């Protein structure tokens, strides 16, 4: 699932006339960069959620992803946030583990294809969520203090208040439908479900082996282009 329904407030004024997933980096939209990574990993079925300027997103998907089995998850009526958006799309996603990818990040693969890295690390009997994380020191254009600590087995725990954590969530995860059991109704953040999985010892991380950029604001665009050029 590609998350593409956000309002793009941090990317203003560029999002005044286009949805954030259609902002271009190095001549290609953020959404197309994500679709390229999906194709490279051999994924054939994709769900894209839409809300803000949904017609433009749908038209773009029809033009640029005709080779994929793409379904639109329509959130025109209500923006459901990250967690609510996935719950809304669950009937389209099936009963097996699936990727969830934010469309406002860019990555360059390391020695191993990133999505295949997640798939190879997945252990269904012990995991509800497997998050791709990157070292804070290597998180291009990211201004936070880190999101997670991770132990030697890959178990995640949250950054403590007023402290720094060594790993940043990249916006890429592999999850089981179990993660969304008894989820709240309506709009909510996936953070709620991650915290529940962390408490059960079922949230894990894997460290990204390549390059990554948080493309959340206009100032990040030249940094993302430089990252892609170097990668």
Contact in structure between 140 and 211 (CB atoms under 8 Å): yes
Say which CATH number the domain at 29 has.
Answer: 3.90.550.10
User: What band does 106 get if pLDDT is binned at 50, 70 and 90?
Assistant: very high
Residues 6+ apart with CB under 8 A from 203: 127, 128, 129, 131, 155, 156, 194, 197
Distance from C-alpha of 168 to C-alpha of 158, rounded to nearest angstrom: 11
pLDDT at 120 over 70: yes
Mean pLDDT of 6-18: 88
Main-chain phi, psi angles of 51, to 5 degrees: -150, -70
pLDDT at 162 over 90: no
Distance from C-alpha of 127 to C-alpha of 213, rounded to nearest angstrom: 26
pLDDT score recorded for residue 70: 95
The whole model's pTM is what? 0.94
8 vs 76, residue with greater confidence: 76
Helix (H) or strand (E) holding 118: helix 114-121
Mean pLDDT of 30-57: 94
Q: How many domains does the chain have?
A: 1
Share of the chain above pLDDT 70, in %: 100
Domain enclosing residue 62, as ranges: 2-230
Average pLDDT value for the chain = 94
pLDDT at 231 over 70: no
């Amino acid at each position: 699932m590609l998350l593409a329904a956000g309002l793009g407030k941090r990317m203003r004024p560029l999002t005044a006339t286009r949805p954030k997933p259609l902002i271009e980096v190095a001549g290609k939209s953020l959404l197309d960069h994500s679709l390229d990574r999906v194709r490279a990993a051999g994924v054939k079925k994709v769900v894209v959620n839409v809300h803000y300027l949904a017609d433009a997103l749908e038209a773009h998907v029809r033009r640029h992803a005709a080779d994929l089995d793409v379904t639109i998850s329509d959130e025109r009526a209500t923006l459901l946030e990250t967690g609510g958006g996935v719950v809304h799309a669950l009937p389209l996603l099936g009963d097996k583990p699936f990727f969830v990818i934010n469309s406002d990040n860019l990555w360059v693969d390391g020695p191993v294809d990133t999505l295949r890295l997640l798939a190879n690390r997945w252990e269904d009997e012990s995991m509800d969520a497997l998050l791709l994380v990157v070292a804070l020191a290597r998180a291009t254009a990211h201004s936070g203090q880190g999101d997670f600590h991770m132990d030697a087995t890959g178990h995640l725990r949250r950054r403590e208040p007023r402290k720094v954590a060594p790993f940043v969530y990249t916006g890429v995860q592999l999850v089981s439908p179990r993660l969304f059991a008894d989820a709240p109704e309506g709009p909510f953040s996936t953070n709620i479900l991650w915290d529940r999985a962390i408490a059960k010892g079922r949230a894990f991380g894997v460290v990204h082996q390549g390059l990554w950029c948080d493309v959340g604001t206009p100032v990040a665009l030249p940094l993302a282009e430089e990252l892609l050029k170097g990668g």
